[in-house]
Amino acid sequence: MPKNEIEKIADDIRTMRVRGAGRIARAAANALKIATAKTKAKTAADFKREIEHVSKILISTRPTAVSLPNAVRYVTLGLKQEHDSDLSALKKIIATRADEFINNSKEAVKRIGEIGANRISDGDVILTHCNSECALSVIKTAFKKGKQIKVIATESRPVWQGRLTVRELLKEGIPTTLIIDSAVRHFMRDVDEVIVGADSISANGAVVNKIGTSTIALAAHEARVLFFVAAETYKFHPETLVGRLVKIEERDPNEVVNLKSFPELKVLNPAFDVTPAEYVDLIITERGIIPPSAAYSVIRDIFEWKPGDKI
Ligand code: RUB
């Protein structure tokens, strides 16, 4: 068991050195490939147990982004279906499916950019929150197609992912303004559309994304500003079909304030919130643009998943 490498990847995800739902999904797929390359298992049964153990470690790192268990499930599905294969065949299945997931994921981000860019008009002002590869793919692709857009990016406290976003946008030459999270409603009148990513999308079309997203959606709704979500189909949450709620990750209070200075203080630090479907105008996926009400069909049709299956 290549403990150190797998634990390092798991730790990178937990501590957010690797962050963003798509990136953590690809990191998990890659970890399974590494575990396969380095395994010392002598039998198929031992190998299956080892992969199951590694899967559990990876899935436990961050609880909200369903891209993580969906990636693990995609990579290990072949293994569960194969009852007679020998060890080398099983190893090949994992390595192939891990590569497949990673390539499909990168392609999906590009495709989302192309599809989403069609919904951006020349001269638009776009507001984005946190740091989403998918949302930025739409923005960058629209700009590359010659649309003269401007972006307003939120800081996204307490972890400041907005700083990653503005750096990325400025590198592309896109005019960008940074605002504090609480200034969103103040500037909403200048915005043509909001574009954010997603960590999970539930069967009823509710979108789970960085804390603050639902407040932005509310302000957009009030100002009649379009609210777009850019997300690959592996961000849809199969278990919400059978009533499971998406777990919201509660992170270390010290991200918000140094608790040593406030020993009596209670601090709550949820990393994500839930935006109800009624505030979402459309979801841009690699398979096309869908209304949030189509989330149920995406989960039913796209996933090789049946109610009762565990992920
Ligand atoms: C990141 C976040 C992003 C989604 C989608 O949160 O909320 O909007 O993960 O990102 P964190 P992407 O920084 O806590 O991981 O489109 O890159 O998958």
- Segment 178-198 mean pLDDT: 98
309 within a domain of the structure (yes/no): no
The pLDDT value recorded for residue 302 is 80
- Segment 253-282 mean pLDDT: 97
- Considering the domain architecture, whether residues 180 and 210 belong to the same structural domain is answered as yes
232 lines ligand 1 (CB under 6 A): no
Instruction: Beginning with the edge strand found earlier in the chain, give each strand of the sheet holding 193-196 in spatial order.
Output: 176-179, 150-154, 125-128, 193-196, 226-230, 282-285, 288-290
Q: 0.85 cut: is pTM over it? A: yes
Q: Cα–Cα distances in Å, from 144 out to 75, 83, 118, 121, 219?
A: 34, 49, 12, 13, 29
Catalytic residue among 124, 130, 181, 281: 130
272 within a domain of the structure (yes/no): yes
Q: Is the Cβ–Cβ distance between 197 and 133 less than 8 Å?
A: yes
Where are the strands (E) in 125-260, listed by range? 125-128, 150-154, 176-179, 193-196, 200-201, 207-210, 226-230
Residue type, 242: V
Pocket test for ligand 1, best of 64, 199, 286 (most atoms within 8 A of CB): 199
Q: Flag whether pLDDT at 64 surpasses 60.
A: yes
Q: Flag whether pLDDT at 191 surpasses 70.
A: yes
- Considering the domain architecture, whether residues 104 and 177 belong to the same structural domain is answered as no
The pLDDT value recorded for residue 308 is 62
- Segment 182-188 mean pLDDT: 98
∠ CA 171-100-133, nearest 5°, is: 25
What CATH number is given to the structural domain containing 181? 3.40.50.10470
130 is catalytic: yes
| Domain finish residue from 75, 109, 143 | 109
Structural domain boundaries enclosing 92: 5-109
Pocket test for ligand 1, best of 15, 16, 19, 155 (most atoms within 8 A of CB): 19
What CATH number is given to the structural domain containing 43? 1.20.120.420
- Considering the domain architecture, whether residues 97 and 133 belong to the same structural domain is answered as no
- Considering the domain architecture, whether residues 51 and 151 belong to the same structural domain is answered as no
* pLDDT class of 307 with cuts at 50, 70, 90: low
| Domain finish residue from 109, 126, 151 | 109
Dist. CA 307–CA 300, nearest whole Å? 9
Residues linked to residue 207 through DSSP beta bridges, in sequence order: 201, 275
- Segment 220-224 mean pLDDT: 98
Dist. CA 230–CA 13, nearest whole Å? 22
- Considering the domain architecture, whether residues 178 and 90 belong to the same structural domain is answered as no
169 within a domain of the structure (yes/no): yes
List the structure tokens of 142: 């629209």
311 within a domain of the structure (yes/no): no
- Considering the domain architecture, whether residues 275 and 296 belong to the same structural domain is answered as yes
273 lines ligand 1 (CB under 6 A): no
- Considering the domain architecture, whether residues 274 and 127 belong to the same structural domain is answered as yes
- Considering the domain architecture, whether residues 155 and 264 belong to the same structural domain is answered as yes
Pocket test for ligand 1, best of 131, 209, 246 (most atoms within 8 A of CB): 131
Catalytic residue among 124, 134, 181, 199: 199
- Considering the domain architecture, whether residues 22 and 78 belong to the same structural domain is answered as yes
Q: Flag whether pLDDT at 203 surpasses 80.
A: yes
| Domain finish residue from 68, 93, 109 | 109
Nearest C-alpha to atom 6 of ligand 1 is from which residue? 20
Q: How many domains does the chain have?
A: 2
Per-residue pLDDT of 152-175, as tens digits, reads 999 999 999 999 999 999 999 999
Q: Flag whether pLDDT at 78 surpasses 90.
A: no
Per-residue pLDDT of 81-140, as tens digits, reads 777 789 999 999 999 999 999 999 999 999 999 999 999 999 999 999 999 999 999 999
Nearest C-alpha to atom 15 of ligand 1 is from which residue? 20
Dist. CA 88–CA 84, nearest whole Å? 12
